[in-house]
Amino acid sequence: MNKNPIIAFLLAFFPGGGLMYLGQVLRGFFYTAVVFGIPAMAVAATVITGSQFFLIFALGGLLMYIVNFIDTVVTASKLYNRTETMDEGVASEKNPDSERFFTIVLSVIPGLGHFQLGLVYRGITLLAVFLGLGVMILFVTMMTGRSEFLIFMASLPIIWIYGFFDVMQLLDRKSKGEKLEDRSVLEELEKKRPDGRKSKSFATLLSIVPGAGHLYLGLQRRGIQLMAAFLFSIYILDVLRLGIFLFIVPIIWFYSFFDGLQKASQYESGVVEDEPIVSYLINHQKWLGIGLIVLGLYYIGTNIIIPMADPILLDRYDINIQFWIQAYVQPAIICLFLIGGGIKLLSGKKIHSNREGESE
């Protein structure tokens, strides 16, 4: 009876299941016993001895699980190698089922299945989005030390499912004789629109990431400012240990999201002007440069000079300067910024009202 390699690959998600289906019962049972047995023995040894050292051996079960997948794929591929060889021993034309099998197997990693179909640009796009988003989420989580950001990892399975079903759809189109074009997902969505304009629904979806929807609509300055404000606020609040101001982060996110919805609706009715959120910084780059220099000097002082001088001052004068800076200087700087910002807003409101009175 002919075995289906694709079914064998799917059964390989259960250790040894694919090999048992292909008739390799002993080998399949070996993988089943090892994958489940090694972690069980590691946990039992940990409970008996009370040492956490044995838990590291549980990784052997994961390693054997991966080996089980590779062994199943190699064994299943031999079925296609036999069908692709003629009786005289000369290779025949490529079997479409073989291409389908290897494409599905490679689609375990988003983008690799597209490489198998010759769609390199489309595959690179999906692979870059999948890996880039995962790396960015882990980076923000490690920088802030807050595991709450790991909730955004839920977007990775969505990308994986989309990539898998996209490969299946392309395989079906190729089997019908259609010619596949190597273009990214964004290009395909825009090509489907008769006027070539941006998709409102896709801009709404991208607005989940602050600034991304604006960048898609061509609002570069507004999008970059929103994205920078979101990420920079997370970094600054963590570095300065200002947990009380963490409410600013969701405020920026909600503002960016609904502003993206508004700009997408305006784009449908006409051209949207790229107005920056804070135009003052664009017109006064000198002050922005001074601010960056001051911030750099601050970090040099707090991370290099003060840690070097603190043991000397503590030993000679019994002064813990690092404690004083963290306990008093940093809060004082934040208070001065808040007070200065409040005075600026009050003075601006007064000037605005005076101008209205003069105009009347």
Q: Are residues 173 and 246 in the same domain?
A: no
Does a structural domain hold residue 357? no
Between CA 234 and CA 181 the distance in angstroms is 41
Does a structural domain hold residue 228? yes
Q: Are residues 50 and 83 in the same domain?
A: yes
Q: Are residues 81 and 152 in the same domain?
A: no
Q: Are residues 255 and 292 in the same domain?
A: no
Q: Are residues 294 and 331 in the same domain?
A: yes
Residues 257-297: tens digit of each pLDDT: 888 888 888 877 777 777 777 665 555 667 667 777 877 78
Task: Please answer whether residues 89 and 151 qualify as being in contact, where contact means their C-beta atoms are separated by less than 8 angstroms.
Answer: no
Q: Are residues 221 and 165 in the same domain?
A: no
pLDDT value for 144: 64
Q: Are residues 242 and 155 in the same domain?
A: no
Distances (CA, A) of 126 to 75, 110, 130, 240, 293: 29, 6, 6, 36, 38
Does a structural domain hold residue 358? no
In which domain, by residue range, is 179 found? Answer: 107-192
Does a structural domain hold residue 63? yes
Between CA 109 and CA 130 the distance in angstroms is 9
Does a structural domain hold residue 359? no
Q: Are residues 183 and 230 in the same domain?
A: no
Half-sphere exposure of 170 (CA within 13 A, CB side): 27
Helices (H) and strands (E) in the chain, counts: 18, 0
Q: Are residues 227 and 245 in the same domain?
A: yes
Residues 318-341: tens digit of each pLDDT: 777 777 777 777 677 777 877 877
pLDDT value for 86: 45
pLDDT value for 351: 45
Instruction: Tell which residue, 165, 197, 352, has the closest CA to residue 270.
Output: 197
- The confidence band for 88, taking pLDDT boundaries of 50, 70 and 90, is very low
User: DSSP letter at 109?
Assistant: S
Confidence (pTM): 0.49
Residue 159 structure tokens = 């990308």
Does a structural domain hold residue 102? no
- How many other C-beta atoms can be found within 10 angstroms of the C-beta atom of residue 267? 19
Q: Are residues 120 and 90 in the same domain?
A: no
Does a structural domain hold residue 155? yes
Q: Among the three residues 133, 158, 192, which one is the final residue of a domain in this structure?
A: 192
Q: Among the three residues 192, 222, 251, which one is the final residue of a domain in this structure?
A: 192
Q: Are residues 61 and 149 in the same domain?
A: no
User: DSSP letter at 134?
Assistant: H
What are the contacts of 221-228 at 24+ separation with CB within 8 A? 221/274, 221/275, 221/276, 221/282, 222/259, 222/263, 222/274, 222/275, 222/276, 222/277, 225/276, 225/277, 225/278, 226/252, 226/255, 226/256, 226/259, 226/277
Q: How many domains does the chain have?
A: 4
Q: Are residues 127 and 155 in the same domain?
A: yes
Residue 20 confidence (pLDDT) above 50: yes
Report the amino acid identity of residue 107: S
Task: Please answer whether residues 83 and 89 qualify as being in contact, where contact means their C-beta atoms are separated by less than 8 angstroms.
Answer: no
Contacts of 149 (CB under 8 A, 6+ apart): 137, 140, 141
Does a structural domain hold residue 125? yes
